[in-house]
Amino acid sequence: MSKKVLIVEDDKLSRKLAEDLLQQQGYQTLSAKNGEEGVSLAKEHVPDLIIMDIKLPEISGPEALTIIKANKKLKHIPVIAATPFAMKGDEEKFLGQGFDAYIAKPYQFREFLNLIDKILKTEQKKKKVLGPFRFKLTHTQNF
């Protein structure tokens, strides 16, 4: 089963480029042109990864991220910040806001695909290590 990637990008050309690159690599894509639509699609489809533009109409990327990370069903999804305004210190700023990674636009194809692949493989490893285990704490001790 192919991984689902949600692209939240208001620029039509950038959105189409990301879709095409990911689909050529076998990923299933969903797209949103603003923050509200991105949050709605995330809730409806629960993607494996979200690529989020920072400056979006309706609600910004960081505002959409806050909503996504506050949702129990979505908080595990890695979210990549994407922006054309790459400045020194941006990566630290975006990671500090809760994004899982950062990429500058325009996308460098190899760097873009390597980042997506790395994040999704890391998430897959986490799932394998943790497995489908569920446990319930039924007794606590005071130490």
Q: pLDDT tens digits, residue range 60-73?
A: 999 999 999 999 99
Please report the sign of the dihedral spanned by the C-alpha atoms of residue 35, residue 36, residue 41, residue 44.
positive
Q: Read off the pTM.
A: 0.84
Q: Which residue has the higher pLDDT, 26 or 86?
A: 26
The Cα–Cα gap between 84 and 3 comes to 26
Distance from chain centroid for Cα 129: 21
CB atoms within 10 A of CB 134: 5
Summarised one tens digit per residue, pLDDT across range 43-95 is: 999 999 999 999 999 899 999 999 999 999 999 999 999 988 666 776 777 88
Residue 3 has pLDDT above 90, yes or no: yes
Backbone region of residue 74 per phi and psi (left: phi > 0; alpha: psi in -120 to 50; beta: other values)? alpha
What pLDDT score was predicted for residue 127? 56
Q: Which residue has the higher pLDDT, 120 or 137?
A: 120
The domains found in the chain, sorted by start residue, are: 4-130 (3.40.50.2300)
